[in-house]
Amino acid sequence: MSGRPLKDITRQDSHLSRLTAAAQELMALDRAFKKLIPSALAEACRAVRIRDDELVLHADNGIVAARLRMTAPGLLPQLAERGYPASKVKVKVTLQQAQPKRAKWLAISENALDGMEQAADCIGNPEVKRALARLIAHHRRS
């Protein structure tokens, strides 16, 4: 595999260069739109494109879509000032599949547990000493 930067690779192929430029323009549109809305709302939507004078937005759920339908038309003049003119808004709900949560897993070696036991003997605070003893016991059972 080549160690060349992506910019060098995209410059060599005109089709890839056009795709890269289009992707950067779409990302700039999304950033410009998200600067105009509250951050909590910005995390749950994306400005996808402007086609036929219509700004297309994707929302993660129906509540976000409803909020965008109410607020986005009022943001069109500000977006036009930033170089993205559109006269209407279309909002689509694109449900995001939740990523399965990974189980938290921590393995402490026997040597580390032995060292923790020795360190616990030097601790004067009884609450910390009990908490450390519970942690050691828990990991010895696992």
Residue 1 has pLDDT above 60, yes or no: no
Is position 100 within any domain?
Answer: no
Average pLDDT, the chain: 88
pLDDT 10s digits, 104-131: 677 888 898 999 888 888 888 889 889 9
CA distance 103 to 116: 24
Same domain, 120 and 86: no
Residue-wise pLDDT for 47-73, tens only, equals 999 999 999 999 999 999 999 999 999
Angstrom distance (rounded) from CA 29 to CA 47: 7
Lowest-pLDDT range of 21-30, 77-86, 100-109: 100-109
Please answer whether residues 37 and 79 qualify as being in contact, where contact means their C-beta atoms are separated by less than 8 angstroms.
Answer: no
DSSP, residue by residue, 59-116: ESSHHHHHHHHHHHHHHHHHHHHTT---SEEEEEE-PPPPPPPPPP-----HHHHHHH
Mention every residue, 6+ apart, whose C-beta is less than 8 A from residue 68: 41, 45, 57, 59, 89, 91
Residue 1: inside a domain? no
Is there a single domain that holds both residue 77 and residue 129? no
Domain hosting 67: range is 6-93
**Domain presence at residue 105:** no
- Residue 15: band (very low, low, confident or very high) from pLDDT cuts 50, 70, 90: confident
Whole-structure pTM value = 0.61
Number of domains in the chain: 2
